[in-house]
Amino acid sequence: MRPLGAEDLAALPWFTVRALITNLHFHLVDKPAFRGTDSIGEGWAERELGALRAAAGRLLGGHRSVPLGG
């Protein structure tokens, strides 16, 4: 196994973004197909959006070209 270099380490936070998008897809598309809009009413989707906004602020230095709503 090779050690992680600076570029590898710099890429790691982007996996959080990918996971958040996957979670949002589940709560906004997949889960409503079999459970209705529970995720939206329970706040799961809003929490994931908040985490995505926070990640955008950290990763993009507050310079988002596309607003994430909210």
Q: What is the pLDDT of residues 14-56, one digit of tens each?
A: 999 999 999 999 988 998 888 887 767 888 889 999 999 999 9
Q: What is the pLDDT of residues 48-68, one digit of tens each?
A: 999 999 999 999 985 655 555
Looking at every residue in the chain, the average pLDDT score rounds to: 85
> What residues have CB less than 8 Å from 40, skipping those under 6 apart?
27, 28, 32, 46
Identify which of 15, 38, 41, 56 has the alpha carbon closest to the alpha carbon of residue 70: 56
pTM of full prediction above 0.85 = no
Q: Where are the domains of the chain?
A: 14-60
